[in-house]
Amino acid sequence: GQQLNQSPQSMFIQEGEDVSMNCTSSSIFNTWLWYKQDPGEGPVLLIALYKAGELTSNGRLTAQFGITRKDSFLNISASIPSDVGIYFCAGQLGAAGGTSYGKLTFGQGTILTVHP
Amino acid sequence: KAGVTQTPRYLIKTRGQQVTLSCSPISGHRSVSWYQQTPGQGLQFLFEYFSETQRNKGNFPGRFSGRQFSNSRSEMNVSTLELGDSALYLCASSLSGTVGELFFGEGSRLTVL
C-alpha cells in the first residue's frame, strides 16, 4: 500500500543530543500527524499539524507542516532515555472527495535509540 | 477520560478459523478506524465506521469485515484465517473521522498458526 517516505530509518544517539526526522510524499495532505509507538503498544499522538507552514511545539518536540503540503519534519531537543521508540509520521487528506474518512497514510517509522 | 480499549490483547488461532476483535472508542467519539500493523507492510488502513455505517475501506480482501454498534463500539472479523493475517490490529477513534487527531488503542496481537 501507499506509504510516506520517512527518514532516517533508525538513529542511535547519545542522551542530550537533538534529533531530526522527516517525511515526504508525492501527494499533498491536509493534516500531518506524528506518533510514537513503544513495543507492544499502540501509537500515541505527539503533535498534529493542520496548516501549511505551521510550526507546533509540544515540550521538547517541534514539528512543521511543509509549505508544499507534501512534507513534514519532527525535531526532538535534548533527548532523554524515555524518548526511545518508533516514531511515525502520518498524513491525512480529510474529507476530500469523501474517500478519506478515518484514513491515515503512515511512514515506515524511525527507530530511535538513546544511549545514556 | 478513558482511552480506546481493545479486547482481547493477545490471541492465537489456527489457519481456517475466524476471529472477532472488539474496540470501545473514547467517549463522545463517533468514528472508529481499524489498522493492521506488520513488520513488512507497516500500518495499513482497513476500514472506518461512523454512526454504524462503513464510510471507507482499504485494500483488504472480503475476509476482513467490521461493524459498528449504536454506542459507537466496533468489532472487526477475519474469516478463514491465513498465516499472513498474523499482525497487530489497531483501533483508532476520533470525533468525526474527517479531520483531526486519531487516538489509538493498544491493539490486539493475533498470531495464526
pLDDT tens track for A28-74: 998 999 999 998 889 999 999 999 999 999 999 999 999 999 999 99
What does the alpha-carbon distance between residue B67 and residue B73 come to, in Å, rounded to a whole number? 9
Model pLDDT, residue B25: 96
Confidence of residue B2 (pLDDT cuts 50, 70, 90): confident
Best to test chain B binding among A36, A93, A103, A104 (most B CBs inside 10 Å) = A103
Closest CA to B37 of A45, A1, A11: A1
Confidence of residue A93 (pLDDT cuts 50, 70, 90): confident
**Residue B48 backbone phi and psi in degrees, to 5:** -135, 140
Query: What one-character DSSP code corresponds to residue A107?
Result: B
Residue B9 or B100, more confident? B9
In this model, does residue A98 exceed pLDDT 80? Answer: no
Other Cβ atoms less than 10 A from the Cβ of A41: the count is: 15
What is the β-pairing status of strands B42-50 and B31-38?
antiparallel
Give the pLDDT mean for B88-103. Answer: 85
Inter-chain Cβ pairs, chain A and chain B, closer than 8 A:
85
Angle subtended at Cα A108 by Cα A26 and Cα A83, rounded to the nearest 5 degrees: 125
Closest CA to B34 of B13, B52, B58, B18: B58
Model pLDDT, residue A89: 96
Cell of A78: 535534548
The position carrying cell 491536509 is A30
Q: Is B15 helix (H, G, I), strand (E, B) or coil?
A: coil
Residue B31 with chain A: CB contacts under 8 Å: 101-102
In this model, does residue A97 exceed pLDDT 60? Answer: no
Average pLDDT, chain B: 94
What does the alpha-carbon distance between residue B45 and residue A101 come to, in Å, rounded to a whole number? 11
Instruction: Tell if the CB–CB gap between A40 and B109 is shorter than 8 Å.
Output: yes
Residue B59 with chain A: CB contacts under 8 Å: 1
Least confident of A28-42, A88-102, B1-15, B92-106: A88-102
What amino acid occupies position B72? S
